[in-house]
Amino acid sequence: MEFKPRYTISTKLVNQLLEIERHKEAINVLPITPNLLVSLKETARLLSTHYSTQIEGNDLTKAEVQSIAQGKGVNFTGRERYEREVRNYFRAMAYVEDKLKGKKVITEKFIKTLHSLVLTGTLKPTPYREGQNVIKDSSSGGIVYMPPEAKDVPALMKGLITWINREITNGELPALLLAGLVHYQFATIHPYYDGNGRTARLLTTYILHVTGYGMKGIYSLEEYYAKHLNSYYEALKIGTSHNYYGGRAEADVSSFLEYFIGGMAVSFGKVRNKAVLLHSNQPREEDASARLRELRPQQRAVLLLFQNFKEVSMQEIADHLGVDARSAYALVKRWIKQGFMQIINASKRTRTYGLSIEWEALLSDRGFSSSLNNSEGRK
């Protein structure tokens, strides 16, 4: 079933899109230092996780979410489910970031795996629902929306995925509208009994990054929607009937787009102001060559490896350094303790490693990369 959205680009929507473009350009040209970038990214991850799970009823505070992210011991007795939801969302965000490094085509497997991580924390793709689900008002118990029947979900999802990839490829539809329409249609299909909202928000974030609106990964759209939750649900109420087959599929979605794009404008403006403020208060960053002098020759050699790969195995490190696996293991173990590297995939069979957040941010800085290549070239 092909997705054919109906909407009108109003003056309000045009102004919102222009506002976002201004924020985007301001953030992209802002000389954000690696240390500041690390701070802003970590804040965005925490806010995204906190507010996206809060929308679904999770009552953990931002401080508790931060404790989970840092691996600190906190007593969650009686709220273990909330803790799992937070951990799962962090895993799902890491999965999205990892997928952004490779081919950008969206597949059913990608979406099903994303949902699996959100709901269970595993990489085993979850099948779509096999029965009818109903969205009810938590206070009155009345039916708010009845999604399409389970038998129609696979075809609807296939049509949505085909449409997404086509629009990303031809680039005719503004990226922001694409993201908003995808969010709307995913919520409309409601392919799962639970976890639809979190999956939709992560999918939206992925699409924004793919289409050039990654904004250095320092924003959180979820905060706006969590703080305007009633408006979020009202914006999703489109059509003359609560039943999908009562006109929802053919409904004009202009009002939802205005709400969604308006939220993005607020979110991007907020992070722009914060980045400018923090940058103005940031002490001058150390010269890149000074940071490089902190490293041993083997660490500098590993940095060159990570210029091409964000995640590597122990054997790849050993081969790159020209040492045996045991020696490589001893080096990596020490570097992890020193905060130079981190474990990305903790599975014993497929364990992989990456740079710490700080050093990854440094490596992404053009000046630092130039200094690294020059220092290696002089040897």
Question: Cα–Cα distances in Å, from 363 out to 37, 305, 360, 370?
Answer: 12, 11, 5, 9
- pLDDT number for residue 288: 56
Q: How confident is the model at residue 372 (pLDDT cuts 50, 70, 90)?
A: low
What average pLDDT does this structure show over 179-203?
Answer: 94
pLDDT at 285 over 80: no
Q: Judging by DSSP bridges, how do beta strands 341-345 and 352-355 pair with one another?
A: antiparallel
Domain 288-377: assigned CATH number? 1.10.10.10
- pLDDT number for residue 165: 94
Q: Which two tokens stand for residue 164?
A: 């997404």
Exposure of 128 in the CB half-sphere (CA atoms within 13 A): 21
What average pLDDT does this structure show over 26-49?
Answer: 78
pLDDT in tens, 294-351: 888 899 889 888 887 878 999 999 999 999 999 999 999 999 988 889 888 777 777 8
- pLDDT number for residue 362: 73
pLDDT in tens, 224-279: 888 888 887 788 777 777 888 888 878 899 999 999 999 999 988 888 888 777 76
- pLDDT number for residue 358: 73
Determine the topology of domain 11-280 in CATH. Answer: Fic-like fold (1.10.3290)
Instruction: Tell me phi and psi for residue 274, to 5 degrees.
Output: -65, -45
Question: Cα–Cα distances in Å, from 62 out to 51, 58, 223, 290, 315?
Answer: 9, 11, 11, 36, 38
pLDDT at 118 over 90: yes
Q: What angle do CA 57, 91, 227 make, to 5 degrees?
A: 35
C-alpha closest to that of 79 among 68, 92, 70:
68
Higher pLDDT, residue 253 or 27: 253
Q: What is the pTM of this model?
A: 0.72
pLDDT at 371 over 80: no
- In sequence order, what DSSP letters do the residues of 133-186 get, joined into one string? --EE-TTT--EEEBPPPGGGHHHHHHHHHHHHHHHHHH--S-HHHHHHHHHHHH
What average pLDDT does this structure show over 279-302?
Answer: 70
What average pLDDT does this structure show over 82-100?
Answer: 91
C-alpha closest to that of 64 among 73, 335, 55:
73
Distance between CA 338 and CA 197 in Å, rounded?
A: 38
What average pLDDT does this structure show over 127-149?
Answer: 86
User: How many residues does the structure list for the chain?
Assistant: 379
Give the residue extent of every domain in the chain.
Answer: 11-280, 288-377
